[in-house]
Amino acid sequence: REDVLLCFYSIDPMEGEALVIKCPKWSSSVKVTWYRLDTNKIIPAEEEGSRVFSIERFLWFLPTSREDSGNYTCSNNRTKSYNVSVQVHSYKPGECFQSDSLPNATGRGKIVCPTLITIECYYCPDCKPLQGQRFFKKEKYIYIENPRREDDGYYTCQFIYTHKGNVFNVSATRIFISEVKYSPLPPQIIFPKNKEVIEAELGAALSLKCQARLGIKKQPLAAVRWDVDNIPVKSLACSRFREETHFSFEGHEHVYYEETTLNITEIKKEDLQSNFTCIALNTMYNTRVTVTLQLRAQAKAALPNVLLIAASLVLLGAIAISVLLYQSFRADIVLLYREIFQPYSLKDDGKIYDAYVIYPKNHANEANFVEYFVYQIMPEILENKCGYKLCIYGRDIYPGEDAASAVEKRMQKSRRLIILLTQQLIHSKEDAYDQHIALHDALIQNGTKVILLEMETIGTYGNLQESLQFIIKQQGTIKWKEEHTVHPQSPNSRFWKQVRCQMPLTHRSSCSANTR
């Protein structure tokens, strides 16, 4: 069989195996003779029981032995010769021998096995049977589909040769070195994932990227493309869809990828019903993934969100305005309430006065505004117009009485304490005494409500005694402003409304606007 090349310049057989060496055919009729060079002995023809013999052009070792290692030559008439070096390797069970002297099997994935009958092929050095769909045996060949660099190595094919009833192992090993410039791999789309749902926004642009693995090294016959509802984007007469220039790169181990981007300039409603299919193809076959679009969750919720936020803002605004209104018109509201639900059922609480008024006593002889306020304005509004009964020192308590005990008794008989805050009051020791009793009384014993009228701007309240600071923190002060001096006589001015609001209920539901 001419197509089986059994003759090597160098042969590395395994000890104990069958070996056949073929002499080149110089001419059909010529008889050749095999010699062993070192001994110069002719290899005889086969006889009964002979181990090394020649049959025509073939030199047989059935089986090989370590001592067969040596140089052999075949010659027709000693003018033409062919030398073969034989190196018999000792047999090690389960081990495939390796030899650098074997000719390399290079190329596109076909390794010829130097036999006619291939029974089993092993991949060395692991000596494992070839596994996987990429390897298959046919006749004397091992085929490697799409060979890559990691396929490089020793391939041993092993078979059994039976000669006159004797069974011999035969194995032969080839080095395989891939010489592929490029080779396809089954196309595999890296992204997107099949059936992926991609979020989109109506009217917005969208880029869909598709990346696929296509082979080893740059593939001349491969593509990654997009279809919209099974129509290639390239053939779509639609300016909204455009395929971007292909982008390709070689990754690890020369693995070749291509990426194609589908540009959608403006997402329309109908796109949400479309199938966007990425197809990756090479010489092997093609694979595809399909993605669809859906409105972005945020976009879907955008309108309700906006409404919600708007509603919240409106509500907050309303609350803020209500609070402001209430702050501004709290007095009016309370007074209105009192007016509507005229509370006639006032219990007798044993008090005589509605309020005890604490104010800084003027020791100078000239009149000042605070005294005018205490003696004129306040009684006019609260007593004459609104019907309250006040206890004012100097008017209701006369000097000469036992001031301290009198003050204390009157305060206990008062429902409110009105304290006029002025710079003088803060710094006066005498007033501080009054204040102290009053506040102690109000805060600790009776729980009498205190009304603070800030007659002059106090500024920081840090100079005030702690109990006053506490009350200010709790309820604030009612500020007498310059504007009130214009119409101080109106009980419906903001200042007097605030004061009335903090005053106890009266039998009179409202204050008369006119002077009695």
Ligand X SMILES: *[C@@H]1O[C@H](CO)[C@@H](O)[C@H](O)[C@H]1NC(C)=O
- Give the binding site for ligand X (CB under 6 A): 16, 30, 37-38, 70-71, 73, 76-77, 79, 81, 83, 85, 103-104, 167, 169, 175, 177, 205, 207, 229, 242, 244, 263, 273-275
Minimum CB–partner distance for residue 119 and ligand X (Å) = 10
Is the preceding omega at residue 125 within 30 degrees of 0, hence cis? yes
Minimum CB–partner distance for residue 290 and ligand X (Å) = 6
Minimum CB–partner distance for residue 9 and ligand X (Å) = 9
- Residue 89 vs 242, nearer CB to ligand X: 242
CA-to-CA distance for 504 and 324, rounded, in angstroms?
Answer: 24
Minimum CB–partner distance for residue 314 and ligand X (Å) = 38
Output the DSSP codes for 415-447: EEEEEEE-HHHHH-HHHHHHHHHHHHIIIIII-
Minimum CB–partner distance for residue 200 and ligand X (Å) = 13
- Residue 271 vs 431, nearer CB to ligand X: 271
Which value, in Å, is the radius of gyration of the alpha carbons in the chain?
A: 57
Minimum CB–partner distance for residue 212 and ligand X (Å) = 19
Sign of CA dihedral 125, 126, 128, 132: negative
- The distance between the two most distant Cα atoms of the chain, rounded to a whole number of Å, is 166
- Residue 197 vs 318, nearer CB to ligand X: 197
CA-to-CA distance for 218 and 114, rounded, in angstroms?
Answer: 34
Output the DSSP codes for 446-458: I--EEEEEE-S--
Determine contact, residues 355/390, Cβ cutoff 8 Å. Answer: yes
CA-to-CA distance for 391 and 374, rounded, in angstroms?
Answer: 10
Name which of 416, 368, 373 is nearest 391 in CA terms. Answer: 416
- Residue 93 vs 251, nearer CB to ligand X: 93
Minimum CB–partner distance for residue 134 and ligand X (Å) = 21
- Give the nearest residue (CB) to ligand X: 77
- Residue 273 vs 345, nearer CB to ligand X: 273
Tokens of 30: 């010529």
- Residue 274 vs 424, nearer CB to ligand X: 274
CA-to-CA distance for 177 and 103, rounded, in angstroms?
Answer: 11
- Residue 68 vs 454, nearer CB to ligand X: 68
